[in-house]
């Protein structure tokens, strides 16, 4: 399947969490049919990509075995493969990558940028899928303990450039790659805001930029006492800022609201 970001920008990636413990909607779509129905609803609302995940990587999340992850996501991918959308598997496990692509996924979204397991680069290379390489400092269990950078933009850019080079060395064509600076993954509030302020810097890597900030805790830090379910206004503000700074893909929980916001923004921008 052709990548939707080659046809239009920005694209919307709808989140389908098949988990009991994700920070925003953990448990809401844990049963396969609930997750399938949710994915189809996101498609109807205007999603271009559906990102299916079976392991939460929120701060302090506990790891899930590859087999348990596969058991969670495969029925959902199989149930969504005829949706007409590009399906993405959100995983850091090589076994899950292989199984998900075989079941119908055409994209791998890895928070470890294919460093999570020794066989991940090889599995991704052989899959033929598109691959999103995300930056994360540390591991989910510890990444928010004391994040530190000499220069957050330069450090993340250098890391992602290294991962692109590693993929190319493994035979992965650069046209299959995207990058995600990893908002909230081993970053303080100041780091997150700096990344957003200078998001266009990542375009120098020569691949599309995916931005995932939907409902994340940095919004609550800016707007105290705002639970995840009430962070839509902040999410939309961040999304619109991101597309103005070059984001090609927005990973979101609230597809319909994001699609409406983008439609208004793009209509205003296109007026001479």
Residues designated catalytic: 216, 251
| Cβ–Cβ under 8 Å, residues 196 and 245 | yes
Of 249, 246, 47, give the one whose Cα is nearest residue 132. 249
DSSP 4-15: GGGTSSSEEEEE
**Hey, how many other C-beta atoms are within 10 angstroms of the C-beta on 163?**
23
Name 86's bridge partners: 49
Rounded Cα distance, 68 and 71, in Å: 5
What is the distance between the alpha carbons of residues 133 and 111, in angstroms, rounded to a whole number?
7
Q: Cβ distance 247 to 211 under 8 Å?
A: yes
Rounded CA-CA distance 127/99 in Å is 10
Angle, helices 66-80 vs 94-103, to 10°: value is 20
């Amino acid at each position: 399947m052709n990548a939707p970001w080659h046809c239009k920008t920005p694209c919307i990636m709808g989140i389908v969490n098949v988990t009991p413990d994700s920070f925003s909607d953990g448990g809401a779509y844990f049963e396969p049919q609930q997750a399938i129905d949710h994915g189809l609803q996101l498609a109807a609302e205007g999603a271009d990509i559906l990102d299916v995940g079976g392991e939460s990587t929120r701060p302090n999340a506990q790891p899930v075995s590859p087999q348990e992850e596969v058991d969670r996501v495969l029925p959902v991918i199989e149930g969504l493969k005829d949706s007409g959308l590009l399906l993405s598997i959100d995983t850091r496990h090589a076994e899950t990558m292989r199984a998900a692509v075989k079941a119908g996924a055409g994209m791998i979204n890895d928070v470890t940028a294919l460093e999570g397991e020794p066989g991940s680069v090889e599995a991704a290379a052989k899959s033929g899928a598109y691959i999103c390489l995300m930056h994360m400092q540390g591991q989910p269990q510890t990444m928010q303990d004391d994040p530190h950078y000499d220069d957050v933009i330069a450090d993340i850019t250098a890391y992602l450039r290294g991962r692109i080079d590693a993929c190319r060395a493994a035979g992965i064509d650069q046209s299959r790659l995207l990058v995600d600076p990893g908002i909230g993954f081993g970053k303080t509030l100041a780091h997150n805001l700096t990344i957003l302020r200078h998001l266009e810097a990542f375009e120098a890597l020569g691949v599309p930029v995916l931005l995932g900030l939907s409902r994340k805790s940095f919004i609550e830090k800016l707007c105290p006492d705002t639970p995840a379910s009430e962070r839509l206004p902040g999410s939309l503000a961040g999304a619109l800022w991101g597309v103005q700074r070059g984001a090609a893909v927005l990973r979101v929980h609230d597809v319909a609201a994001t699609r409406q916001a983008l439609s208004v923004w793009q209509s205003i921008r296109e007026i001479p």
